[in-house]
């Protein structure tokens, strides 16, 4: 597994997304309380914290799935308190889920093609005729999907129904579907959950390659602290819905609040 990144650190800079004073509750349950942090262009930003800390809720706020009762999200300079997930997607925010969310009966290739639908401009009429501009567009989409299949080294399973694949490969296909949207900001919810050591190392490599070679900004939730420390440029730590720390992996690791709340538990 690679060590901390240096190359990206040099190009990292302007704020891509800012979370400002966000609070989110479900009835009596406060999932997030007055949390602020930013994600800079080109970085890998980890969100960590114990179970129930509000991490997944935060990803859901960022991609428009939940609307915060308080606070705002500013993405590429545009501030919003509400946005639908499809708007987030069309503005370049893609995500994967804690539990794989693929069409299990469909092949790897078709699942990744689904990720392209947002990028298709021609209407159904042209698509049905497979004629002129629609045909050219479909060829472009297929080429893009083939590039993703190459990148993720899943050529051998391109025709396999994803329900038949081992879990680690399903997670890789799900990453492929998110990549098909050509995201500027990629949200990964526990991309390594349930994986063995080798699968984790592979996934780490894909995430780092994506970030380094394609410049994709990544925000990820991950429970494996070793992975977080290796991959991330900066880490935000939540506990019971509150932000308790924010900084480089080294800063966060040394923070007594984090040690008490999180690292102290199993490390
Ligand atoms: N849809 C919901 N309805 C009611 N309560 C919810 C909902 N989603 C989350 N919560 C509650 O909000 C709090 C934060 O949950 P969340 O799933 O965001 O935490 P998490 O840090 O992602 O946890 P984990 O690491 O276990 O996935 C928890 O108390 C959870 O029970």
* 51 CB within 6 A, ligand 1: yes
Strands 29-40 and 15-26: antiparallel
Q: What is the largest CA-CA distance in the chain?
A: 63
Round the average pLDDT of the chain to a whole number and report it: 85
Q: What is the C-alpha to C-alpha distance for residues 74 and 219, in angstroms, rounded to an integer?
A: 15
Q: How far is CA 73 from the centre of its chain?
A: 17
Q: What is the ipTM of this complex?
A: 0.96
Q: pLDDT tens across 96-117, in order?
A: 877 667 788 889 998 998 888 7
Question: What is the distance between the alpha carbons of residues 81 and 64, in angstroms, rounded to a whole number?
Answer: 9
* Ligand 1 centroid distance, CA of 56 (Å): 7
3-state secondary structure of 78: strand
**Residue ranges of the alpha helices (H) in 119-196?**
124-129, 132-151, 167-179
CA 184 – CA 18 distance, rounded (Å): 14
Fold of 1-92+184-267: Rossmann fold (3.40.50)
53 neighbors 46 (Cβ within 8 angstroms): no
Tell me the pTM: 0.86
51 C-alpha to ligand 1 centroid (Å): 8
55: Cβ below 6 Å to ligand 1? yes
CB of 24 closer than 6 A to ligand 1? no
What the block records as the tokens of 48 is 């960590």
Low-confidence ranges of the chain (pLDDT < 50): 1-10, 122, 266-267
Two structure tokens written together for 170 = 């399903």
Domain ranges of the chain: 1-92+184-267, 105-182
What is d(CA 118, CA 86) in angstroms, rounded to the nearest whole number?
9
* Predicted confidence (pLDDT) per residue in 242-258, tens digit: 999 999 999 998 999 99
């Amino acid at each position: 597994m690679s060590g901390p990144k240096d190359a990206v650190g040099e190009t990292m800079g302007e704020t891509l997304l800012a979370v400002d004073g966000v609070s989110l509750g479900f009835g009596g349950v406060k999932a997030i309380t007055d949390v602020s942090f930013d994600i800079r262009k080109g970085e890998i930003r980890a969100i960590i914290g114990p179970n129930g800390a509000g991490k997944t809720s935060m990803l859901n706020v960022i991609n428009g799935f939940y609307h915060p009762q308080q606070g705002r999200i500013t993405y590429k300079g545009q501030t919003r308190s509400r946005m639908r997930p499809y708007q987030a997607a069309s503005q370049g925010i893609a995500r994967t889920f804690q539990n794989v969310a693929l069409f299990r009966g469909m092949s790897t290739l078709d699942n990744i093609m689904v990720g392209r639908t947002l990028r298709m401009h021609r209407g159904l009429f042209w698509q049905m005729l497979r004629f002129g501009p629609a045909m050219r567009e479909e060829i472009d989409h297929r080429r893009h999907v083939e590039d993703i299949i190459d990148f993720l080294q899943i050529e051998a399973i391109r025709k396999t129904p994803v329900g038949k694949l081992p879990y680690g490969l399903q997670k890789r296909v799900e990453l492929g579907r998110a990549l098909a949207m050509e995201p500027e900001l990629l949200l990964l919810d526990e991309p390594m959950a349930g994986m063995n050591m080798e699968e984790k190392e592979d996934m780490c490599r894909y995430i780092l390659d994506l970030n380094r070679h394609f410049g994709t900004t990544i925000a990820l939730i991950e429970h494996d602290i070793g992975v977080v420390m290796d991959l991330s440029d900066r880490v935000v730590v939540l506990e019971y819905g509150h932000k308790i720390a924010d900084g480089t992996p080294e800063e966060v690791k040394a923070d007594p609040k984090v040690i008490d709340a999180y690292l102290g538990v199993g490390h």
